Structure formats: C-alpha cells, structure tokens
Structure 1
Amino acid sequence: MKVILTGNDLTVDKVWDIAVKGAEVEISPEADATLEASRKLVYELVDADVPVYGFNTGVGWNKDHKIAKEFFEEFNRKLIYCHTFGVGAEASEAEVRAVMAVRLNCLLLGYTGVQPAVARRYAELLNAGVHPVVPEKGSVGEADLTQLAHIGLAMIGEGEVNYKGRRMSSAEAHKLAGLEPVVLGPKDGLAVVSSSSFSAGEAALVFKELAELADMGDIISSLSLEGLNGNTSPLEAEVMAARGLAGQAKCAENMRGYLEGSDIYEAYPGKPVQDPLCFRGAAYVNGSLRDALEYAEKYLFIQMNSTDDNPCLLLKEKRIISNSNFETTTLATAMEMLAIVLSHVSRMSCYRMLRLANPELTHLSRFLSHDGGESHCFGTIQKCFASLDTEIRHLSNPCSVDYLSLSGSIEDHANNTPLVVQHLRQIVQDLQYIYGIELIHACQAIELRKRQGGFTLGRGTAAAYDAFRRALPLYTNDRPLAPDVKKAYEFVKSAALVESVKR
C-alpha cells in the first residue's frame, strides 16, 4: 500500500492508511520540483541579505537578533534544542506517523523553503518505520513547537525513537535503517517546528473514529428502540423533510433502513403515543453530530493541505513575509463544538439504558434480569456509564479560551488546539465504552422481548444483533461484568458493527 503526497489532497482516510495500516508514502514529482524551486529562492534571499524572521533573525522575543550565514547550521540546530520541551504521556506510534505525514504534505506546497532533504527525511523515516518519541504536552496551539521539535531532534540523529518494536537512540536507528542524520540549513529549524501538524495529525485519527461512531450511533439507537418496542413515527421521511436539517434526515434514513421488516412497526393495545426523548430524538441528536463533524472535517482538510508557516515563502512573487497562518482557532473551536455535541450524544445513550432498565416503560424485568429480578443484572453497571458520561461532560468544556501572553507579550494569543484534540480523543474513547454498554442493554432487552412471544428484528438490526452476540453472549447469571464491558468496548472500537450491517 502506498500513498502519494501532493500537498493538496491528503484526507483523513489517507492519514489513517499511513498511520494505522502502515502505508508507505511517496512525494509526487511535481511536489518535489516545488521543493527544489522554493529552496533555490531561499538561497537567493540569503545572498540578498533580506531580514527574514527565523531565517536570518532570531525567533520570538529574539526577532531583533541577526544571524550571520556562517551560523545558520548552529542556529537551526539550537532552535530545535531550545524548543524540545514536550512533557507527559507520549503520542502513540500511529499518532506520530499521522503527524509526520501531515507535516510532510504541507511542506510540499513550497511555502516553507525547507531543504528538500529535510522534507524527504519525513518520508524516509515513515517508510523505514523510525518513529520519534514525542511527548504530548507543551504546546499552547500557536504552532505545536515543543512537540514537533522532538521530531526535528530525531532527524538530526539525536533524541529517542521507536524502531521495530524497540526504543533506542535516533543515532542507532539511523544506522540500522541505513540513513545519515540531516544537516540543517537556513529556515530548516523553523520549518520543522513552526506548524500545527501535531494537532492535525492526532485530530485526523480521532475524526476517523468519530465518523465510525456517527454510523454506529444510528445502529445502536435502532437496536435500543427495538428493545423498548418504541415508536418509529419520529423517523418518517416526511417529518424530516418538514424540518430540513440534513444531519438528522440522514440519521433517520439510516435508522429506517436498519429497522426495515421489524416488528417494531406493529401496533399493540396500549402502546404509548410517543417515547422518552432519548429514544424519540435519537436520530435528531445523532444528526447534530453529523452536522458538526461535516463542519469540522472541512477545516481539518484545509489544515492538512495548506501552509501554516511563519514566515511564508511566496515563490511566484519571490518574497518571504511574516504572518499568523499558524492560527488554528477555527479548527479548535470546531472540535470544541464536536465535543459539546458528543456530550449530548453520550447523555442520550445513558438515558436510553436507564429507561431500558425500567419495567414500567419496557414491560420487561427490572434491570433486564433474565430471571425476572432475582439477579441484580444491570443495576450497578449504571454507575460505570454515569461516571464515563460525567467525564465526557467535563471534557466538553471549552479550553481554547484559556491562555497567557508569552514571549515578552509578543505572543499574546493562543487556542490550546493540542489539548482540545486530546480532550476530544478521550471523549471518543469514553463514548465507545458507553456505546458498548448500550449494546449490552439493547441486545438483552431484545432477547427478553423475544422470549415474551417472538420479535422479528429489522434487516440491519438483525445483522448487528448477531454480530454482537458472536462477540458477547447473553447475560444469564450474575457474574463480573468488567470483562463484558471490555469486550463490548473492543467490539465498538473495531467498527465491526458497521461492517456487519454493511455486509
């Protein structure tokens, strides 16, 4: 598997292929030519002695310091050193691969003027499986300087990397992979660190799982609705057309397809006219997630296929100018919107489980006990999903607005985009657990309903039910539920539910 990078068409799926599936990368010939041309302009500007930020001047508060040609290598190496301040937990190898792929893709546009050998080194490290060790914390979001410096450190043969299952020095990994450390020149250090590719790379992997969660939400909501034997009127196409919201219309269409042929459409004496909002509005709130994801994906795509460099090299105009293209506030706030919507999705799921455990609503046994109530069954598990939902709600609180004025008040704005992404990543993991627990409830309720006199599932929900039951058997006696929850989480995370319904 190979992904050709052009600078213009990197998608979430392509990042996933590179980062998770281990696809090799190749720089397109056109992009390689752009790298060479932009580097040529850099040397022309060096000869002209034009003052350029981070090029022949210092950076940050030191922007007034002049850098002589003979000190370019030393200055750029020290620039990497002085920004290597990442702390805390380390990004996974998949995340590091995603980050490197995004940064390489943006370099190919030619706005950086980076040495082509530096750009090619990203591809060489990816293809050789040499993954720099990158701590996750330390960036305030005005470019991910402190994390990306760790990648630069590895490029020059310093710091640590993971290579073929072992942690080792970058120098050793370079030797084993048959590579020589790069020697930095003018503009190279800033080109490596002054980017938001750490945030974008991690976000791309989160967005991939989010898209799968959006699809799973419709399937799981349909199963829970059958477990309740609820009403399908809120899903009707005419109702959706009257409202005119694309996201909820898509979710309702999906749910109608999954429920096709289900006994849920049969009326029975005393059936309630409408259900609690957690069931009645499932497609509507899941639709809000689709709308938010579409909005956020638009800006993530732009982030992964544009320059965020300062200064910006304008090849056609033969100029290099200062700017604030590293601003990611639009993307950060889009992801915070996603986090807020996910807190609604989570709460709806939790309420569906609470309602399914209530015999007054379901006419099934309390806590969905298989023996009519002698077993505690799904009583205490409520504390587990309630705790996860609480964490999601707190993680959805905005953090992009909380920053300090730094670097002698030169850098007086920030957006904390890496922290926003990491909050979103944890929310996704928590929701995967919650959806796994909802599957446990929904399938148990369906089994009990079948025992009451038979119940035919829809085409899609039947496939989902069978796939889940292959992963996790019916609860028939009190037992430790932690292993069940873990299996359910792994089932959701694998996206096997979506694949089974598609088939």
Structure 2
Amino acid sequence: MDNRTVVLTGDSLTVEKVAQVAIDGAKVEFAPAAQQELQKSREFVYKLVNDNVPVYGFNTGVGANKDRTVAAEYYNQFNVNMVRSHCVAVGPEAALPEVRAMMVVRLNTLLLGYTGMSPEIAYMYQNLLNKNITPVVPERGSIGEADIACLSHIALTMIGEGEAYYCGKKMPAKEALAKAGLQPLILGPKDGLALVSSNALAAGQGVLVMHELKKLINLADIIYSFSLEAFKGNVSPLDEEINRVRRFQGQNESAAQVRRLLTGSYLWLPNIANALQDPLCFRCACHIHGAVRDSLHYLEELMNIQMNSSDDNPCVLMSQNAIMSCGNFEVVNWAVAFEMLGIALSHLSRAACFRTIKLSTAHFTGLPRFLTPDPEHVIAFGTIQKPLTALDAEIRHLANPVSMDFYAVAGDIEDHASNTPYVVQKTRKIVDNLYYILGIEAIHAAQACDLRPEKEFQLGTAGHTVQQKIREIIPFLAQDRNLTTDIASAYKLLKSGGLLDVLHI
C-alpha cells in the first residue's frame, strides 16, 4: 500500500494523517476490524428498537423534542427533515482542505462502533474523500456543543441536496454525486443524528491549524536565530546546561534547535556580542517559543483523544447491552487548550515585534537608524513598524478568551457551550498574522546583515541560507520603494514552507 493511502482504524488517527488526506489528497481505507464494528453496532441498535426501547434520535426526536416518538414508517422523512432543519450555518465557506479534514475526523470516530448508524454513511464519507467531492460548508453557526449547524451541510450533500465541489468545481451536490457515479443516501433511523451531531468541524479545522503551527514554531526559531546574528546578540541564554537546569520541554527544544541553526556563526566567538545582556525579546525568545511548544504538546494530547474517540450522544455500548445518553460532545477541555495556545502565540508575536523594532534602533545595533543605507536620502524602515504593530494588535485581540460566552438555547435545555469553532478560527487568524510578522522581522534581519561592516561578521550555515533565500525574492533596500510588495513576498516565502525544506526541518 502506497503512502497515498491512509488506513483508518478508529483509534490511530494523527495530525499528520489528517493533513495527508485533507491537504495532500491521500485516499482512505478501512481496517477490516473497523468495518465489522460498523455492522455489529447497527444490528445491535435495531435489536433494541425492536424490543421497544426508546433510543434518542432513532425512534425519538432530538433536543427539546426528545419526548416525541418517531414511528418506523416516518424514519426516512424524519431524518431528512433533521438534516434540512439543522442547515442554519452562515458563511464564509470553510476551505476545501478543512472540509476534507472534518470528514476524515468524523469518519474515523464512526469506525469505533459507538454510533449505531447505517454503515452506508461511512462508505459515503469514504467515497466523497476518495472521489474528490467536497461539500460546501459554511463555517459559522456552531456554538461548540456538536457542530450541528455546519456539519448538516455535509449530510445535505450525501442526500443529493445543496452544493458541493467536484474536482475543485462548484456545482449542485446531486450533479457532483452523479459525476462520481454515486447515488444519494436513503437515510434510516439514527442516521440524521449521526451525520449532524459531532465536533468534527472544530476538530477538522483545529487539526489543520495545529499542522500549520508545527511549521510556524520551527520558522519562529529560524527567524529568531537569524535576527540574533543580525543583532550581534549574546548566545549565553542558549547554553545547553543553562536550559537543561530549567527543564521545560518546549524551551529546551527551541534552544537546541537555535543552537543547531547557529552552527558556524560568528556569534560563538569570545566577547563578540554587543552587550552582556540583550533585551528580553532576544534573551528569552526560546523560553517564549517554548511556551508555544508546551501548549501545542498539551493540545495535541487532547486532540489525539478527540480524533480517536466517540463524541456521540447517545453512545452505543454493546458490552453493556445499552444505548446511553451522555455529554461526550462536550469539548471545553480542548477549547480552552486552544485559547491557551492563542495567548502563548500572542507572547511570541509581541517578542518578534520588539526584536524587529530593536533591529531598527541604532543604539542597540550600532547600525544606522531604521537600517537605512543612506541616512541623508533613504528613509528605509521607519513606517513599516505601523503594520507590524497593527497585526500584533489584532493578535492581542484574537487571543482574548471567548469559550465562556454563551446562551442557554434549544428550549433552555442546552445551557452550556464553548464556541470551539470560533476559538479555532481565531487561532487560525493568529497564525496567518504571524507569518506576516515573522516575515517583516526577516526583512529587517536581512538588511541588518547586509549593513554589518565588521570583518569578523560571518553568518552560520543556516543564517547564510536564510539570507540567500530572502535575497532571491527581496533585494537589498538601497532606495525607498513600495514595501508592501516585500512584505507579501516574505509572507509567501514563510507560508510556503520553503525555508523549512531547504534547512531540512
């Protein structure tokens, strides 16, 4: 089996595997044991219903209508109505890779056998992914207690309604299914609830944010190490033993990486630094980056559980011969973990901004003010501090917690929520802003390196590579020019992952 296929077992999905399917277009297959669980749980649910046991969402209504009985002859219409009535989300549309991530996350949890829905639903998820059909999903409207308002739009595609993308082209869902040789689903009992009730929107988008963050934190280390060389900074805070005695995992990971990135740098020469102690934005960078890494480690532990466990209500427990109502759709634990991560990223952003401003400040660097090559005739980087700090102000605002802001809804019975989709989406925006902020820092560091007159100035291997990649797309600032173009170029370089590839990180 090639690396273009991800085998789903129900309990072994990872951030990297989701990215393979969602971004790289890998196909999905089921482990044989998972297929058996699907069939067994469906048969078990039918057995209970035939014994006249009330099953939430199967032979009863949902939400405040849980007290209403659904007769067998109305199963299909009831489930179709459930899908249609729950389609209440608003735009913008989630990106296509994000929708694919939602589908693979939900599909994986279905394979555990705790849902009791028709196995045909799982095979439809598989077909949509493998045949490149991506439902149109508005990303706003969920409060985080299962993403019913948004995920219903995936269900809508499965029954041949609404819109979807087929091989990247938008069209009516029924037409997309036909082009792929698929028939719309005929929904049976509990199928509607299984389709609309999970946290797959927030989880799918969240996993892709984490995938991006794993790149971003490494880029932050790269740009910091490059700035330290440009700043002629002090490397003593990077000492292995100094960091080892502090013991924080993330701090030690960043410090070790920065030491590697500075291999061969002039900064390791004795008494070379400008100062005995640098400003904290330089001195504590690995500690700040470490806080992001530690937050990400914690979040990944929780997300691995989310992706590989059931968030269904009710939950099918064949071992106890029961279907039990529960609150397993509650995700406040990883909602607040995302918010913690946003706060840590705000610290990283602020430190990067201060480093950039320090690089333009003559009495810190010994270089011309605003890194001008000609103080009489070139303004250089005076005004660029404004967009830099404006982007950071956005991040500061986005880092404010929102998980505790909710109403009691659905007839007052649903009186807790976490706003997890919005928590994830604002973290996604923080990450995007940081590509700009780190890009602007890199522009300053490259200019400073070019202005350094010292004979002993010698970039390390990584620093030399970074300088070279920047100069391939952004020339030295010899005369004032439109810097918006330079900022956009730096953003694209960082976001593309090109620096990570060339540095083998």
Partner residue of 2:347? 344
Q: Does 1:112 align with 2:133?
A: no
Partner residue of 2:144? 141
Displacement after TM superposition at 1:373 (Å): 5.3
Partner residue of 1:10? 13
- Asked if structure 2 preserves the Cα contact closer than 8 Å seen for 1:349 and 1:435, the reply is yes
Displacement after TM superposition at 1:491 (Å): 0.8
Q: Does 1:57 align with 2:53?
A: no
Q: Does 1:326 align with 2:329?
A: yes
Distance in 1, matches of 2:25 and 2:51, equals: 43
Q: Deviations over 1:207-246 (max 9, x none)?
A: 0110111111111111111111010011101111221111
Distance in 1, matches of 2:145 and 2:459, equals: 51
Q: Deviations over 1:443-467 (max 9, x none)?
A: 1111111x44352112222222222
Displacement after TM superposition at 1:97 (Å): 0.5
Partner residue of 2:468? 466
Partner residue of 2:92? 89
Range that drifts further, 396-405 or 372-381: 372-381
Partner residue of 1:21? 24
Partner residue of 1:502? 504
- Asked if structure 2 preserves the Cα contact closer than 8 Å seen for 1:365 and 1:373, the reply is no
Distance in 1, matches of 2:470 and 2:501, equals: 12
The one of 455, 458, 470 aligned to 1:456: 458
The one of 240, 253, 258 aligned to 1:250: 253
Partner residue of 2:161? 158
Q: Structure 1 residues 206 and 66 mapped into 2: Cα distance closer, same or farther (>3 Å)?
A: same
Letter in 2 for 1:17: Q
The one of 305, 310, 322 aligned to 2:308: 305
What TM-score do you get using the length of structure 2 for normalisation? 0.97
Displacement after TM superposition at 1:374 (Å): 2.5
Partner residue of 1:227? 230
The one of 375, 382, 385 aligned to 2:378: 375
Q: Deviations over 1:245-277 (max 9, x none)?
A: 111111111111111221112345883110000
Letter in 2 for 1:128: K
Distance in 2, matches of 1:403 and 1:271, equals: 52
- Asked if structure 2 preserves the Cα contact closer than 8 Å seen for 1:461 and 1:501, the reply is no
The one of 200, 204, 209 aligned to 1:206: 209
Distance in 2, matches of 1:312 and 1:389, equals: 44
Distance in 1, matches of 2:27 and 2:461, equals: 39
Letter in 2 for 1:124: N
Partner residue of 2:411? 408
- Asked if structure 2 preserves the Cα contact closer than 8 Å seen for 1:105 and 1:305, the reply is yes
- Asked if structure 1 preserves the Cα contact closer than 8 Å seen for 2:99 and 2:134, the reply is yes
Q: Provide the identity percentage.
A: 49
Q: How many residues align?
A: 502
Distance in 1, matches of 2:445 and 2:312, equals: 49
- SS of residue paired to 1:64: coil
Letter in 2 for 1:232: V
Distance in 1, matches of 2:468 and 2:446, equals: 9
What TM-score do you get using the length of structure 1 for normalisation? 0.98
Q: Does 1:418 align with 2:421?
A: yes
Partner residue of 1:261? 264
Q: Does 1:386 align with 2:399?
A: no
The one of 278, 282, 297 aligned to 1:279: 282
Distance in 1, matches of 2:121 and 2:189, equals: 12
Q: Structure 1 residues 190 and 375 mapped into 2: Cα distance closer, same or farther (>3 Å)?
A: same
Partner residue of 1:238? 241
- SS of residue paired to 1:461: helix
Displacement after TM superposition at 1:328 (Å): 0.5
The one of 171, 188, 192 aligned to 2:174: 171
Partner residue of 1:125? 128
Range that drifts further, 175-184 or 253-262: 253-262
- Asked if structure 1 preserves the Cα contact closer than 8 Å seen for 2:229 and 2:459, the reply is yes
Range that drifts further, 460-469 or 299-308: 460-469
Distance in 2, matches of 1:318 and 1:268, equals: 73
RMSD: 1.2
Displacement after TM superposition at 1:470 (Å): 2.3
Q: Deviations over 1:83-141 (max 9, x none)?
A: 00010200011111010010100100000011010111001011111111000110000
- Asked if structure 1 preserves the Cα contact closer than 8 Å seen for 2:331 and 2:420, the reply is yes
Q: Structure 1 residues 269 and 424 mapped into 2: Cα distance closer, same or farther (>3 Å)?
A: closer
- Asked if structure 1 preserves the Cα contact closer than 8 Å seen for 2:58 and 2:189, the reply is yes
Distance in 1, matches of 2:335 and 2:180, equals: 37
- Asked if structure 2 preserves the Cα contact closer than 8 Å seen for 1:366 and 1:373, the reply is no
Partner residue of 2:359? 356
Q: Deviations over 1:321-376 (max 9, x none)?
A: 10000001011000000000000000000000000000111011111112245211
- SS of residue paired to 2:139: strand
